[in-house]
């Protein structure tokens, strides 16, 4: 069996920035264990697989360690591959996922994704060593949705956080840290060592939580966000009722062939 693999830098307009995703289109699903092995071999934050389902597609995402229920940058990369490499010429793509249907549209070189809105709720139920694990001076508040969202005071606090990934892994949570931005509406970083990804470069699923959080705090529906990982990435986002929209660009890096 031979599979085609594309590597795409998502949420970026230039190579070697944004978040790289491995995209493997399939005609039919292969074994879960094989998809996990391929993700481990690729050793990127996510490897994404999709198969046709009528005029739509089914989609699944794997980190090097396990399957996850939603991934933004790999969905963006999948749409980019369909639009630019596989001849898809309809105005929108619908991916069916564990998190429901995801509708993707294209406007020039910007691709927009319609995702669920997961509003975080404030909580006092978080590990005592969370601040130590994140390597931050002060925590403003902790909120819970799919992940733990930790509010910090400033963009510099987010930028200069120095996580202890060994301790963070022991705490067992995926964690978003965030603060108001200087040149954008808000900034963030995302840590998931329990899923085999110490720091994810740009994280769409985290923005399903960040967008409703900041929309309420800033009293805005349309915002610009930046993820402050070493690679970095920028998103154009909007709160739309029970859904959020996030848009970004992609850059083609590589096409290869897998021999199994």
pLDDT in tens, 5-60: 999 999 999 999 999 999 999 999 999 999 999 999 999 999 999 999 999 999 99
From 72, 74, 76, select the one nearest 109 (Cα to Cα).
76
Terminal Cα distance for the chain, rounded: 5
User: Which pLDDT value is given to residue 84?
Assistant: 97
Claim to verify: residue 108 and residue 131 sit in the same structural domain:
no
User: Which pLDDT value is given to residue 180?
Assistant: 98
User: Percentage of the chain surpassing pLDDT 70?
Assistant: 100
pLDDT digits (tens, 9 = 90+) for 213-232: 999 999 999 999 999 999 99
Claim to verify: residue 125 and residue 234 sit in the same structural domain:
yes
Claim to verify: residue 8 and residue 68 sit in the same structural domain:
yes
Claim to verify: residue 179 and residue 102 sit in the same structural domain:
no
User: Which pLDDT value is given to residue 100?
Assistant: 96
46 assigned to active site: yes
Which range of residues forms the domain containing residue 222? 121-241
Claim to verify: residue 57 and residue 137 sit in the same structural domain:
no
Q: How far is CA 119 from CA 112, 148, 205, 211, in A?
A: 20, 11, 12, 8
Claim to verify: residue 171 and residue 226 sit in the same structural domain:
yes
- Domain harbouring 13, CATH code: 3.10.310.10
Claim to verify: residue 13 and residue 91 sit in the same structural domain:
yes
Q: Which of 46, 151, 155, 199 is catalytic?
A: 46
Claim to verify: residue 227 and residue 127 sit in the same structural domain:
yes
Claim to verify: residue 65 and residue 167 sit in the same structural domain:
no
Claim to verify: residue 97 and residue 202 sit in the same structural domain:
no
pLDDT digits (tens, 9 = 90+) for 159-207: 999 999 999 999 999 999 999 999 999 999 999 999 999 999 999 999 9
Average pLDDT over residues 77-97: 97
Average pLDDT over residues 62-88: 96
Domain count, the chain: 2
User: Which pLDDT value is given to residue 170?
Assistant: 96
């Amino acid at each position: 069996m031979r599979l085609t693999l594309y590597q795409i830098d998502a949420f970026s307009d230039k190579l070697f920035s944004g978040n790289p995703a491995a995209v493997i289109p399939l005609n039919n699903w292969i074994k879960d264990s094989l998809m996990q092995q391929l993700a481990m071999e690729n050793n990127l934050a996510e490897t994404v697989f999709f198969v046709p389902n009528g005029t739509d597609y089914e989609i699944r995402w794997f980190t090097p360690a396990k399957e996850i229920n939603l991934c933004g940058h790999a969905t963006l990369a999948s749409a980019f591959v369909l639009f630019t490499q596989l001849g898809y010429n309809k105005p929108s793509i619908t991916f069916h996922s564990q998190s429901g249907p995801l509708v993707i549209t294209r406007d020039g070189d910007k691709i927009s994704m319609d995702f669920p809105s997961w509003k975080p709720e404030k909580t006092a139920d978080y590990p005592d060593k969370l601040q130590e694990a994140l390597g931050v001076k002060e925590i403003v508040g902790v909120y819970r949705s799919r992940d733990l969202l930790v509010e910090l005071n400033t963009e510099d606090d987010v930028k200069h956080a120095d996580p202890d990934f060994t301790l963070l892994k022991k705490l067992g949570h995926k964690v978003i840290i965030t603060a108001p931005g200087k040149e954008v509406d808000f900034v963030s970083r995302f840590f998931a060592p329990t899923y085999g990804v110490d720091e994810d470069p740009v994280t769409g699923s985290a923005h399903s939580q960040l967008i409703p959080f900041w929309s309420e705090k800033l009293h805005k529906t349309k915002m610009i966000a930046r993820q402050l990982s070493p690679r970095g990435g920028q998103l154009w986002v909007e709160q739309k009722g029970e859904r959020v929209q996030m848009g970004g660009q992609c850059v083609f890096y590589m096409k290869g062939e897998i021999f199994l």
